[in-house]
Amino acid sequence: MNVVAVAVPAFSPGTPEHALATWVRREGGFVGKVRVETRDGLRGLFVTEPVRAGELLVSVPPGCIVSADEDPQWGLSLRELLTARLVGARTRGQCQPYLDSLPTLDGAPLLCDWSDEELEQLQAAELAELARGMPPFVAASCERVRPYVQAEASVVEWAERMVRTRAMFFDTGVSRRMSLVPVVDLANHRTPPRRSAMDGELLEPVALGSDGESVALVARSDLRTGEEVCLTYRHEGNGQLLLHYGFAEMICADQPCFETLRLGASSTPLAAALHLGSDEADAAALAALRRHLVDGGAEGEAASALDTGVCSALAAACEAELRRMPTSEEEDARELASLSLSADDAGRRRSALTFRVVQKAQLARVAQMLHSLLACGGAPTAAQVWQRSCVA
């Protein structure tokens, strides 16, 4: 990538972010047309001038990055190796401007930190159980790291949380790498909009530099002054975002949906998940429902009739799940709109309501789409289920 860019001093002097940007530049990196702002209580990275897709925004040299490559000889996962590296950097006083910019453990809450009462607000028993099971898993991971570092348990726990919520994966061509990248990790998450064939593909905003060690952040699309620079942390829906990052995302009409919709009680065959986002996952869900009908006595029916039955059962399961929930999508949306940003518990309540609104909107959308397609004759394909369920 041949890009000429001029640095703009847009970080407020005296702030940890200004010290961070100054340090990155001093070490040979580049911080361009970006600044840090807090909007609606959330810190993020915003452009100071119009930028074009592909324009270099930040380049972080290897001396500022905390990284770990896969190395089976240690008996640690890649996440655990990076946790140990971060603890080591803290113990030795390395990368101090970066360490000063990181939050405390309490400043990076995840779903596993919610109380039982707060987890009930999700109206999703399976997700709540995953959250309750996470602390023992994290504690065991931290215990595996401790023999390799000289630090108290609380420091290892903090490092594990920083890695879980901020680290990025890279393929070096030789092995997988996990890195903590200053300035770049100030960018918030957003699922990018769907693209038509005429639009072309969105640029991948974060990549290793030509030296295989530095990390570059570019604009993945044209941005106007003041627009936010965002990354996509993962394509797995709000359940995973809540578990690993502590927030939920409101899905707009122009965004694809990667939600996992749970249908029916966990003890029934209809508990198979419907994953929206790929034809393969949709096909697997339809196959699970097909097997349920076969076990119920539909084995001798023709394939076309069975497919219609599967889709009817899927629509009915979506509607049953909506009836099971104690509040409606409309009620949740009204409460979400009324929340005060200044309320102490507004963050978790907002995340719970956002999760609920998106889940219910997708359940209703899938049911409506299936009824519409079945009314037109013939069973929809998995591709049709995915395409139409992601359109408002």
Who has greater pLDDT, 286 or 42? 42
Q: Which residues contact 143 (CB under 8 A, 6 or more apart)?
A: none
Residue 209 within a domain: yes
Which class for 196: exposed (0-12), middle (13-18), buried (19 or more C-beta within 10 A)?
exposed
- Domain end residue (candidates: 245, 278, 300): 245
Could you tell me the pLDDT band of residue 48, with boundaries at 50, 70 and 90? very high
| Region 191-205 average pLDDT | 64
- Taking the mean position of all CA atoms in its chain, how far away is CA 178? 16
The answer to whether residue 120 scores a pLDDT higher than 70 is yes
Q: What is the pLDDT of residue 175?
A: 80
Number of continuous H segments (helices) and E segments (strands) in the chain: 12, 13
CATH (domain of 178): 3.90.1410.10
| Region 184-202 average pLDDT | 72
Please list the residues that pair with 203 across neighbouring strands. Answer: none
Distance CA 246, CA 38 (A): 18
Residue 227 within a domain: yes
- Domain end residue (candidates: 210, 245, 280): 245
Q: Can you tell me which residue has the tokens 């997988």? A: 176
- Taking every pair of C-alpha atoms in the chain, what is the biggest distance, in angstroms? 74
**Shared-domain flag, residues 145 and 216:** yes
Residue 77 within a domain: yes
Structure tokens at 236: 């797995």
Q: Which of 166, 141, 169, 170 is nearest to 156 (CA)?
A: 141
Could you tell me the pLDDT band of residue 261, with boundaries at 50, 70 and 90? confident
Q: What is the pLDDT of residue 278?
A: 54
Which class for 268: exposed (0-12), middle (13-18), buried (19 or more C-beta within 10 A)?
exposed
Distance CA 185, CA 277 (A): 26
Structure tokens at 3: 């890009």
Structural domain harbouring 287: 260-390
**Shared-domain flag, residues 192 and 293:** no
**CA geometry: angle at 360 spanning 355 and 363, to 5°?**
125
**Shared-domain flag, residues 86 and 122:** yes
- Domain end residue (candidates: 214, 245, 276): 245
Percentage of the residues of the chain whose pLDDT score is greater than 70: 76
Amino acid identity of residue 336, one-letter, is L
Could you tell me the pLDDT band of residue 230, with boundaries at 50, 70 and 90? very high
Distance CA 214, CA 182 (A): 11
Structure tokens at 226: 């003041």
E-state strands within 197-296: 206-208, 215-218, 228-231, 260-262, 273-275
Residue 301 within a domain: yes
Amino acid identity of residue 292, one-letter, is H
Amino acid identity of residue 346, one-letter, is A
**Shared-domain flag, residues 200 and 307:** no
Percentage of the residues of the chain whose pLDDT score is greater than 90: 53
**Shared-domain flag, residues 155 and 224:** yes
Could you tell me the pLDDT band of residue 310, with boundaries at 50, 70 and 90? low
**Shared-domain flag, residues 157 and 279:** no
For residues 222 and 229, the answer to whether their CB atoms sit within 8 Å is no
Residue 231 within a domain: yes
**Shared-domain flag, residues 152 and 266:** no
E-state strands within the chain: 30-31, 34-39, 42-47, 56-60, 66-69, 168-171, 176-180, 188-189, 206-208, 215-218, 228-231, 260-262, 273-275
Could you tell me the pLDDT band of residue 41, with boundaries at 50, 70 and 90? confident
Structure tokens at 272: 């198979």
**Shared-domain flag, residues 222 and 307:** no
Residue 1 within a domain: no
How large is the angle between the packed helices 237-245 and 153-166, nearest 10 degrees? 150
Distance CA 313, CA 301 (A): 15
Report, in angstroms and rounded to the nearest whole number, the Rg of the chain calculated over CA atoms.
23
The answer to whether residue 380 scores a pLDDT higher than 70 is no
| Region 291-296 average pLDDT | 45
The answer to whether residue 24 scores a pLDDT higher than 80 is yes
Q: Which of 161, 167, 168, 41 is nearest to 112 (CA)?
A: 161
Q: Which of 31, 35, 32 is nearest to 45 (CA)?
A: 35
Number of domains in the chain: 2
